[in-house]
Amino acid sequence: MAGGRPEGGPRGMRGMRGIQKPKNAARTALRILSYMNGQKILLLLVFVGIILNSLSSVGGTYLLKPIVNSIEEGIAKGAFDVRFFVLQIAILALVKLLGVAGAYLYSRLMMTISTETMRKIRVDMFTKLQKLSVKYYDTHTHGEIMSRFTNDTDTLREMLSQGIPQIFSSAIMIVGVFTLMCILSPYLTLVMVAMIGIIVFATKKIGGQSAKYFKRQQKAIGAVNGYIEEMIEGQKVVKVFCHEEKSKKRFSEINEALFDAASNANTFASIMGPVTNNFSHLNYAITAAFGATLAVIGVLDIGTVAAFLQSTQIFFQPITQISQVFNSILNALAGAERIFELIDEEPEHDDGTVTLVCAERGEDGSLCESDGRTGIWAWKIPCEKGGFSYTELRGDVRFENVTFGYNEEKTVLNDISLYAKPGQKIAFVGSTGAGKTTVTNLINRFYDVTEGNITYDGINIKDIRKNDLRRSLGMVLQDTHLFTGTVADNIRYGRLDATDEDVIRAAKLANAHTFITHLPDGYDTVLTSDGVNLSQGQRQLIAIARAAVADPPVLILDEATSSIDTRTEALVEKGMDTLMEGRTVFVIAHRLSTVRNAKAIMVLENGSIIERGSHDDLIKEEGRYYQLYTGLFELE
């Protein structure tokens, strides 16, 4: 980014950022301070360091008075007091060394404090992400969430490590130097105050213009970045339809708008420094001339004039720094508010009391809880009078008059009733937006039904803890996601305690074993960037193996074979048939060939089931499914 940071300003002052104001700065600041509760002693030492550093500058300036006066007296008397001069120089050096020590102390400690504070905040942010519902991710873009972890935390860290110490240091310097100037000479101080008024007026005018163009620049940057991202993602489409020239023309237009805004913004921002510096030089010249006049007529001594002139040199520096840091602090507090908005988001509610446990059968056939993995799962149901009852997990899923909408204005499912008995394969077909994926979202309790009930083995799924409910379900989505790690790690994601043999068995079941063994390091091949070194079909096979290793009683396949070619699909379906044996399966598919062997096929349209039955029955009816299957009506 152009511009860099102004001379003497902290890194947090980036000209390319627009000034964002927090809604409630005081409350946000107190919230940040709450993360520093365990570091009060360090904070106290920071303030000691700031005070030492600031007062050393003020004290060092005052010490110029006796030093200069001793030189003047020595010249006037013809006898220079070397011992007094050396003593004053030694005291000045000691004061400056104390200032250096104070600066090192507060800089080093503040870095430790800010790093620890940001660690706590990031932990809280990431922890909250694990507790948020799918709805939150559906309504917030990934870029928006990531900006809280990157841009907002970066500006907050800079504020804590540099901005806050700079504000306090500058404030102490201003008060200290101004007090010193009043002590040295009230007359020269009046001249100083008059020049400050002129400087404030000029910078306010220039700053207003600069802020206006910085706002335009921020908007233009967003437009340029968005367009570039869009063109990179759609580069194949651009080339296929020969849109290169039109794309370049459009980019030139929005880039020109950015150039115009950035040029004006940085012009006014660049003017600010020279204007302030020139006014300070003018003030120095006027003060020197006026001070010299007062010295000539005997109102002031030379040492006082020299000390006052030095005060004017250092007085404007903290004022400039505060004006620079103030804007970065506003940006940081606005970013902190967005961070705390994430931390304060309502977590996913879970009022379930029924849990999933490993079970074993007693001699009388009754179920009891087991400490080890037995292959038998049971729902552990609290009883009203105390104790627990156990119901075997069989995979009986039923929808009873279910109505649901992602928002109140529009319903996606309308009075849906269906059932899947243990071991049955139920398929959903229909055009895009008909509500197929919504059905599976409700089974997982990513969303809760608006009306009606969903039962699982006779238990209302709202009574089942969400983690236990989801542990009983295996899911393969159309959009696979592979994590950074080995192939084996990605398959084992379905069950963390799976052995290497379990992983290989699951891969063979999904017919992924052959291609995995041909990878450079086999199952130890490291995948990065969502498995970019694999084909889409291979990624899908690993996702299926991940579901297979979990060995769930209920499977949800949402376009699980959509990214696999026809030959591979035939191999996968053989493995899937073995995987689905004895399990309840919900299948969503556009390829109708994959649902022919389903026990029941549900045809959805506009949130309602318009047809249901087996493949043969629906073909005989010659309704919508018949039209879809024969190609008379295409899925949209």
Condensed to tens digits (0 to 9), the pLDDT of residues 527-572 reads 887 788 788 778 888 888 888 888 888 888 887 666 666 666 666 6
pLDDT tens track for 371-388: 877 778 889 999 888 888
Query: Strand, coil or helix: what is 428?
Result: strand
Q: Is residue 461 part of a domain?
A: yes
Q: Going by C-beta distance under 8 Å and a sequence separation of 6 or more, which residues neighbour residue 392?
A: 359, 367, 376, 377, 378, 379, 457
Which residues in 388-407 are b (16+ Cβ under 10 Å) and which e? eeebebbbbbbbbebebbee
Same domain for 455 and 360? no
If one counts every other C-beta atom within 10 angstroms of the C-beta of residue 617, the result is: 13
pLDDT at position 8 over 70 = no
Same domain for 99 and 216? no
Tell me, what amino acid is at 38? G
Alpha carbons within 13 angstroms on the beta-carbon side of residue 341 total: 17
Report how far residue 463's alpha carbon sits from residue 401's, in angstroms, rounded to the nearest whole number. 18
pLDDT at position 89 over 60 = yes
Same domain for 341 and 444? no
Same domain for 555 and 517? yes
Same domain for 591 and 510? yes
- pLDDT tier at 217, thresholds 50, 70, 90: confident
Type and span of the H or E element at 64:
helix 64-77
pLDDT at position 492 over 60 = yes
Same domain for 49 and 175? yes
The pLDDT mean for the chain works out to 81
Alpha carbons within 13 angstroms on the beta-carbon side of residue 474 total: 27
pLDDT at position 465 over 80 = yes
Tokens read off for 487 = 């192939």
Query: Structural domain tally of the chain?
Result: 4
Q: Going by C-beta distance under 8 Å and a sequence separation of 6 or more, which residues neighbour residue 166?
A: 10, 321, 322, 325
Q: Bigger pLDDT: 11 or 98? A: 98
Q: Is residue 60 part of a domain?
A: yes
Same domain for 412 and 367? no
Q: Is residue 7 part of a domain?
A: no
Question: What is the pLDDT at residue 10?
Answer: 36
Same domain for 414 and 531? yes
- According to the per-residue pLDDT averaged within each range, which of 324-333, 544-553, 581-590 is highest? 544-553
Q: What CATH number is given to the structural domain containing 115? A: 1.20.1560.10
Q: Is residue 198 part of a domain?
A: yes
pLDDT at position 292 over 80 = yes
Same domain for 552 and 468? yes
Q: Which residue range forms the structural domain that includes residue 214?
A: 186-299
Q: Is residue 5 part of a domain?
A: no
Q: Going by C-beta distance under 8 Å and a sequence separation of 6 or more, which residues neighbour residue 151?
A: 335
Question: What is the pLDDT at residue 459?
Answer: 92
Planar angle of CA 596, 600, 604, nearest 5 degrees? 95
Percent of the chain with pLDDT over 90: 10
pLDDT tens track for 507-519: 988 888 988 999 9
Range 390-396 average pLDDT: 88
Q: What CATH number is given to the structural domain containing 492? A: 3.40.50.300
Question: What is the pLDDT at residue 17?
Answer: 45
Q: Is residue 276 part of a domain?
A: yes
Asked whether the beta carbons of 279 and 319 are under 8 A apart, the reply is no
Range 90-105 average pLDDT: 88
Burial degree of 634 (CB within 10 A; 0-12, 13-18, 19+): exposed
- pLDDT tier at 7, thresholds 50, 70, 90: very low
Range 19-34 average pLDDT: 79
Q: Is residue 310 part of a domain?
A: no
Burial degree of 565 (CB within 10 A; 0-12, 13-18, 19+): exposed
Question: What is the pLDDT at residue 593?
Answer: 65
Same domain for 403 and 268? no
Same domain for 515 and 453? yes
pLDDT tens track for 132-189: 888 888 888 777 788 888 888 888 888 888 888 888 888 888 888 888 888 888 888 8
Q: Is residue 260 part of a domain?
A: yes
Same domain for 477 and 492? yes
Q: Bigger pLDDT: 506 or 230? A: 506
Question: What is the pLDDT at residue 581?
Answer: 72
Which ranges constitute the DSSP H helices of 446-565? 466-471, 487-492, 500-509, 513-517, 536-550
